């Protein structure tokens, strides 16, 4: 058929009088039925095999005169409008599941012109208070666009009284899923209308239920146009699911579950792990997958899936998947571990120069290595050609090491990194003296610290007394004693690792730097041995110097574990997942707060699913390379139970809670910092203030009064679900913020955005720079300090080969190279990274006020870039500048791709 057929009203002419149509012809036809005999055509065209331009004329039998033709044409035009839709679909490039016979079927569907069924939904009810019937049409493939995008076109005949479309229903007629970028309607009375989708739409053969996309204008529930209210509610219900069954890859269902899938007892009995989430082990909730229980442990969920389920739109987009992200990390892990185990043996580095060879020579990869090609494709920065035949796994020197090869030995750097390093969120002000444990002394021994007044005053060198130092806020501490001590006995029963409770004390010098004063390591009573504790201080004799270095190695291993398990995983990745689930379950996609938060939630659930599968799982990277070993995530649960509270997750509240700041309305940011040169706090507060101003402008635009906040049923259900379901084990805590006013909402949302952007950037993108040279902060300490119950031969070896004793304490070759490779991947920015303040969301640009507020936010972040550069050039700021000192750039908002040590992405996307 050469063109689309048109249903033709047959009008029999018996005279030459002008034709007067029946009144029924004037009634708008909107239900899409093709059974009416004499009605104007609205969506009556049948698609042809070849999509030629639709004929809009009306034919009348018996060769009516020109006046009749013109009159009929005018009537049709007066009651309908031709609306053209452009649908942009991203190619599913790189998806191995979208190849094969289905591709051929989908090509045939495109040729038939029935690729996508679209239905326009009016935003308003009809005059009888009922929903208007939708207007249906099929989209046909039109052309290929840049970056592999595919353009589809569709024509709608829209009655003039249909009103403004507020939603569009979509059904994918292909056998494969499609990633819809947007749908743009042209020819409407009010101008162009855009539906920004950015979503996967599964095949109707997988799920025949039609998807709904709302126009870009945001609405509070009470302001929802009448024609969209039912769809708004139904869409949320679909996203919640029914809590039953195993989730399919194409599902978009958000529900909660406990962490019961980290162990794998079916594979290895010793890989059984406790359930995290509940009274015994409090923890945030994760996304429910519905997999059946393990065969050998009914409390554990089975782990047979190739990739753990996350709702389909939480996966990386097709382009991002190809460029970087979960696929890179997944491939690196699968290729890395067997390759390293084949290249190396589990042994110590014989000397420190052997560590240097990892950077200047690398590890030769044999030509017949099974994973050589995969390693080279996913780790091009590390796998280099040594010759025409051989390749090597050769590590890039981290910037810290490149500037100063011996940076890791300097005590000044030890102190500096507590403020401007990888874990700047754990240093606390000392406010009570003497130091004392809160653990049960009948189990863990005497609670008093062995760090005495005499030791500290000796190390201060007579500058002031301890009491005066505390009064002047000069003493600071990394205190991991009470968190780690309960695990010491259990960890020491494992092979290849050890543990202590630890404290490290610092003094604030007149130059604004932190000088390490003392390290205390404590072992509780074990095996009928009494509690053991010892204080180590910087020394000037050879034996003392090496004992101090070994004690530092232990404290830094503890700090590495707390950084990865608490500051990084728990406080960002893990605690954010319930926010994402609740947002999708309780806030409609047209809710302004959902649209404000969505950029900060992208891809986090996929990264978290991958972490459960390969990083924090039993026998995974964390357990095999960090001191707590199999108790690593259980330790994270204890930290959540004892330390985590939402009201302290915002940066100002966090600083105040640790004694690093006090409220001062006259000071910048309303805070007076206890340590003026605290790079993480100084730069972080710039990001925090800019973000809060943006959120304030946004929230106040939609909520002008407390009553609007309290009456927003979606918003109240969202906050209630986060507190009582997503963080169920904390639901009765008194510190949860109330949500009654716009100011309450501003604080809550700003905190969430800070955690997913600034906080995460500060603890993630410096991992390779600060830990790539692992002696600086090794992830594991494998041997006890030489002075704890020393055997004669061990002490003799220490005196003769102190370097060897330290190397025995540091990671093995396999542990070190495994961690170095993973940190390189985790520290990398994707080529299409989305940085905070860089790109406006389509819904924000729809509103002139929000658009202007975002442009102000974006401009401020560009100013912050320059401020940070100025600070890093200021020689007075000793924690940022100096000989061999790497500048602090982790909170510079923007970055290029790769391992750059800077850049603040919108979300936790790696």
The residues that are catalytic are: 568, 573, 760, 764, 910
Give the C-alpha separation, 807 to 811, whole Å: 8
Residue 175 has, within 13 A of its CA and on its CB side, a CA count of: 13
Contacts of 149 (CB under 8 A, 6+ apart): 88, 89, 90, 91, 181
Do residues 213 and 183 lie in contact, with contact meaning Cβ atoms separated by under 8 Å?
A: yes
Taking the mean position of all CA atoms in its chain, how far away is CA 758? 12
Contacts of 688 (CB under 8 A, 6+ apart): 650, 651, 652, 669, 750, 754, 758
Structure tokens at 485: 């001590």
Contacts of 620 (CB under 8 A, 6+ apart): 614
Give the C-alpha separation, 692 to 688, whole Å: 6
Nearest 5°: phi and psi at 790?
-70, 140
Residue 374 has, within 13 A of its CA and on its CB side, a CA count of: 16
- Interior/surface letters 384-423, b for 16+ CB within 10 angstroms, e for the rest: eeeeeeebbbbbbbbbbbeebeebbeebbbbbbbbbbbbb
Bridge pairing between strands 165-172 and 178-186: unpaired
DSSP result, 218-238: ---GGG--GGGHHHHHHHHHH
> Three-state DSSP class for 60?
coil
DSSP result, 798-849: HHH-HHHHHHHHSPPHHHHHHHHHHHHHHTPBPTT--BTTTS--HHHHTSHH
> Three-state DSSP class for 131?
strand
Tell me the Cα Rg of the chain: 32
Contacts of 299 (CB under 8 A, 6+ apart): 260, 275, 293
> Three-state DSSP class for 711?
helix
Give the C-alpha separation, 263 to 266, whole Å: 9
Taking the mean position of all CA atoms in its chain, how far away is CA 160? 45
CB-based burial of residue 677 (10 Å sphere; 0-12 exposed, 13-18 middle, 19+ buried)? buried
Q: How far is CA 252 from CA 154, 237, 239, in A?
A: 26, 11, 6
Q: How far is CA 831 from CA 314, 319, 321, 842, 897, in A?
A: 19, 10, 11, 21, 5
Structure tokens at 623: 């357990």
Structure tokens at 526: 């074990």
Residue the block writes with tokens 């993973």 = 822
Bridge pairing between strands 178-186 and 80-90: antiparallel
The strands making up 391-393's β-sheet, listed across from edge to edge, are 363-365, 391-393, 383-385
Do residues 442 and 451 lie in contact, with contact meaning Cβ atoms separated by under 8 Å?
A: no
385 preceded by a cis bond (ω within 30 of 0): no
Taking the mean position of all CA atoms in its chain, how far away is CA 678? 26
Q: How many CB atoms lie within 10 A of CB 344?
A: 16
SS3 content of the chain, % helix, strand, coil (to 5): 45, 15, 45
């Amino acid at each position: 058929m050469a063109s689309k057929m048109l249903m033709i009203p047959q009008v029999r002419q018996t005279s030459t009088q002008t034709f007067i149509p029946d009144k029924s012809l004037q009634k708008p036809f909107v239900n899409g039925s093709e059974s009416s005999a004499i009605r104007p055509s609205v969506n009556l065209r049948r698609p042809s095999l070849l999509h030629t331009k639709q004929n809009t004329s009306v034919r009348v039998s018996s060769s009516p005169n020109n006046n009749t033709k013109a009159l009929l044409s005018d009537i049709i035009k007066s009651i309908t409008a031709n609306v053209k839709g452009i649908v942009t679909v991203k190619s599913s490039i790189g998806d191995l599941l979208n190849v094969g016979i289905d591709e051929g079927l989908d090509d045939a569907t495109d040729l038939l012109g029935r690729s996508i069924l679209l239905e326009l939904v009016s935003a308003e009810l009809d005059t009888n208070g009922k929903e208007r019937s939708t207007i249906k049409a099929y989209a046909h493939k039109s052309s290929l666009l840049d970056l592999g995008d595919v353009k589809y076109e569709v024509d709608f005949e829209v009655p003039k009284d249909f009103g403004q479309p507020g939603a569009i229903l979509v059904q994918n007629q292909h056998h494969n899923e499609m990633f819809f970028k947007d749908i743009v309607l042209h020819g409407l009375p009010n101008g162009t209308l855009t539906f920004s989708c950015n979503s996967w739409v599964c095949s109707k053969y997988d799920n025949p239920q039609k998807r709904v996309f709302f126009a870009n204008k945001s609405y509070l529930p009470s302001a929802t146009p009448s024609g969209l209210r039912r769809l708004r509610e139904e869409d949320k219900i679909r996203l919640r699911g029914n809590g039953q069954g195993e989730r399919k890859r194409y599902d978009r269902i958000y529900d909660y579950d406990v962490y019961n899938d980290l162990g794998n007892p079916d594979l290895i009995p010793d890989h059984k792990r406790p359930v995290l989430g509940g009274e015994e082990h409090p923890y945030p909730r994760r996304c429910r997958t519905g997999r059946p229980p393990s065969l050998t442990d009914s409390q554990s969920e089975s782990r047979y899936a190739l990739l753990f389920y996350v709702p389909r739109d939480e996966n990386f987009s097709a382009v991002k998947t190809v460029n970087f992200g979960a696929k890179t990390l997944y491939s690196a892990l699968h290729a890395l571990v067997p390759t390293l185990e084949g290249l190396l043996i589990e042994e110590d580095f014989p000397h420190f120069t052997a560590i240097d060879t990892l950077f200047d020579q690398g590890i030769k990869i044999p030509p017949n290595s099974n994973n050589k090609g995969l390693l080279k494709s996913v780790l091009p920065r590390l796998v280099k050609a040594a010759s025409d035949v051989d390749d090597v796994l050769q590590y890039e020197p981290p910037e810290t090491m490149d500037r100063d090869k011996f940076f890791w030995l300097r005590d000044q750097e030890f102190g500096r990194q507590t403020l401007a390093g990888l874990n700047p969120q754990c240093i606390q002000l000392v406010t009570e003296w003497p130091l004392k444990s809160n653990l049960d002394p009948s189990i863990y021994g005497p609670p008093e610290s062995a760090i005495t007044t005499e030791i500290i005053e000796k190390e201060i060198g007579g500058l002031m007394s301890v009491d005066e130092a505390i009064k002047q806020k000069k003493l600071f501490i990394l205190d991991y004693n009470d968190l780690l001590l309960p695990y010491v006995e259990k960890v020491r029963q494992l092979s290849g690792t050890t543990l202590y409770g630890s404290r490290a004390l610092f003094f604030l010098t007149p130059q604004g730097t932190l000088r390490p004063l003392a390290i205390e390591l404590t072992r509780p009573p074990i095996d009928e041995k009494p509690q053991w504790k010892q204080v180590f201080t910087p020394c000037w004799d050879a034996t003392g110097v090496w004992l101090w270095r070994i004690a530092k190695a232990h404290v830094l291993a503890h700090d590495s574990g707390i950084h990865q398990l608490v500051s990084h995983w728990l406080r960002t990745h893990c605690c954010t997942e319930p926010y994402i689930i609740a947002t999708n379950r309780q806030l409609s996609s047209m809710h302004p707060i959902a649209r404000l938060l969505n950029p900060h939630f992208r891809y986090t659930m996929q990264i978290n699913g991958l972490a459960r599968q390969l990083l924090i799982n039993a026998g995974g990277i964390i357990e095999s390379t960090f001191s707590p070993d199999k108790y690593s995530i259980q330790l994270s649960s204890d930290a959540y139970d004892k330390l985590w509270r939402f009201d302290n997750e915002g940066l100002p509240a966090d600083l105040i809670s640790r004694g690093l700041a006090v409220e001062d309305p006259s000071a910048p940011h309303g805070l007076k910092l206890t340590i003026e040169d605290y790079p993480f706090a100084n730069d972080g507060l710039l990001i925090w203030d800019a973000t809060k101003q943006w959120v304030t402008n946004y929230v106040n635009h939609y909520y002008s009064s407390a009553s609007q906040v309290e009456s927003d049923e979606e918003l109240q259900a969202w906050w209630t679900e986060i507190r009582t379901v997503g963080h169920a084990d904390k639901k009765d805590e008194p510190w949860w913020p109330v949500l009654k006013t716009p100011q309450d909402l501003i604080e809550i949302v700003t905190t969430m955005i800070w955690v997913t952007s600034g906080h995460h950037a500060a603890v993630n993108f410096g991992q390779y720079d600060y830990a790539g040279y692992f002696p600086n902060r090794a992830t594991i300490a494998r041997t006890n300090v030489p002075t704890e119950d020393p055997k004669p031969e061990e002490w003799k070896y220490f005196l003769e080969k102190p370097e060897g004793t330290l190397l025995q304490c540091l990671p093995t070759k396999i542990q070190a190279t495994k961690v170095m490779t993973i940190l390189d991947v985790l520290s990398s920015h994707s080529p299409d990274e989305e940085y905070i303040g860089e790109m406006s969301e389509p819904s924000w640009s729809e509103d002139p006020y929000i658009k202007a507020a975002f442009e102000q936010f974006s401009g401020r972040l560009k100013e912050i870039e320059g401020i940070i550069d100025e600070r890093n050039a200021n020689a007075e700021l000793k924690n940022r500048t100096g000989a061999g000192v790497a500048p602090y750039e982790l909170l510079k908002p923007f970055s290029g791709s790769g391992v750059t040590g800077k850049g603040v992405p919108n979300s936790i996307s790696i």
